Structure 1
Amino acid sequence: MGKSKKESPGTLGKNRKAYFNYTVVESMECGIELKGTEVKSVKSSHFNFVDCYSDIKDGQLWLYKMNINPYGFGNIHNHITDRPRRLLAHSKEIEKLEKKIREKGFTLIPLKFYLKGSLVKVELGLCKGKKLYDKRDTIKNRDMDRDQNRKSKYD
């Protein structure tokens, strides 16, 4: 996932597909439990989290389907690429999220990975799936904004 010019320097990756497919109701910051060479791979942006989602199991937040590529200079100590990873959050926040995702249509989607100091953080969004007509509206609004910007640029 390449960085765009608008992203902050600490941003490792942003899930733009999530903003298109879901309506983000609420977001929160979580830590992520990484092992060994996973940290180096994530810091060098060698990961993919487009189809990634989060769920609560036994009172803990877990991140599924996140693929972290093996570290290039790692040897036999390299990590498993697609294992479930635990997210770190306060227990009260997890309980609050659990109540909300048990409602119809809500899911937890990672929106952004970034560095805060030397720590890797995840912005987790409480999202509701968009209908097809909502997606069409999003495309229409984006095209209208692009046309507006082009007109104002040449005026």
Structure 2
Amino acid sequence: MPKKNTENNTLADNRKAWHDYFIEETYECGIELVGTEVKSIRNGRANLKDSYAEIRNGEVFACNMHVSPYTEGNIFNVDPLRKRKLLLHKTEINKLLGYTTQKGYTLVPVAMYLKNRRVKVKLAVAVGKKNYDKRDAMKEKDAKREIDRSMKNVR
């Protein structure tokens, strides 16, 4: 059986994180979900906007991650904004703990995707951008867009 293409299996994306933070490092981690949550996520009903991760008692939890209730789930549905445990190795958790104790660093879920039929979360170690950093990024983006336009007209 040929291996399936793993490209474009993204279920949810946090584009706002790339705008609001400098992404230092990313980690792939599993997530502890209930059955109806998996069905809802596979239907594209997850939202990572304004979500973050925190470390408590040696475990990593994703907070403020919204997973809409599954329509056919009735009594098996859970709270859409509940804290969900992220599955990482102990050494990775200790490394993340070292980052978050430094001032300005935070953990942000950047993407949620399928890998080998399992839901994975890409967790990023991030530093917040200041307003002038955001303006500089927008200027660079506009300049790149203008260059691409002029190169397109030349052809």
TM beyond 0.5: yes
**How far has the Cα of 1:14 moved from its partner?**
1.6
Q: Which amino acid aligns with 1:92?
A: T
Aligned to 1:134: 133
Aligned to 1:50: 49
Aligned to 1:79: 78
CA distance in 2, matches of 1:54, 1:105: 14
CA distance in 2, matches of 1:82, 1:115: 21
Query: 1:84-95, aligned counterparts within 5 Å?
Result: 84-95=83-94
Q: Which amino acid aligns with 1:87?
A: L
Aligned to 1:21: 20
Which string of whole-angstrom CA distances, capped at 9 and with x for unpartnered residues, describes residues 101-127 of structure 1?
A: 100100000011110011000000000
Which string of whole-angstrom CA distances, capped at 9 and with x for unpartnered residues, describes residues 55-104 of structure 1?
A: 10000000000110011121211121110000000011001110111001
Q: Which runs of 5+ in 2 are unaligned?
A: 1-6
**How far has the Cα of 1:13 moved from its partner?**
1.8
Native 8 Å contact 2:14 2:110 kept in 1: yes
Aligned to 1:96: 95
Which string of whole-angstrom CA distances, capped at 9 and with x for unpartnered residues, describes residues 3-31 of structure 1?
A: xxxxx321112211100100001111000
Q: Which amino acid aligns with 1:38?
A: E
**How far has the Cα of 1:150 moved from its partner?**
0.9
CA distance in 1, matches of 2:23, 2:46: 22
Aligned to 1:147: 146
Aligned to 2:105: 106
CA RMSD, Structure 1 to Structure 2 (Å): 0.8
Which string of whole-angstrom CA distances, capped at 9 and with x for unpartnered residues, describes residues 38-68 of structure 1?
A: 0001111101111000010000000000110
Number of residue pairs matched by the alignment = 148
Q: Which amino acid aligns with 2:85?
A: R
Native 8 Å contact 2:31 2:120 kept in 1: yes
Native 8 Å contact 2:31 2:87 kept in 1: yes
Native 8 Å contact 2:60 2:93 kept in 1: yes
Identity %: 45
Native 8 Å contact 1:36 1:79 kept in 2: no
SS in 2 for 1:104: coil
Aligned to 1:5: none
Aligned to 1:122: 121
CA distance in 1, matches of 2:9, 2:62: 21
Q: Which amino acid aligns with 1:23?
A: F
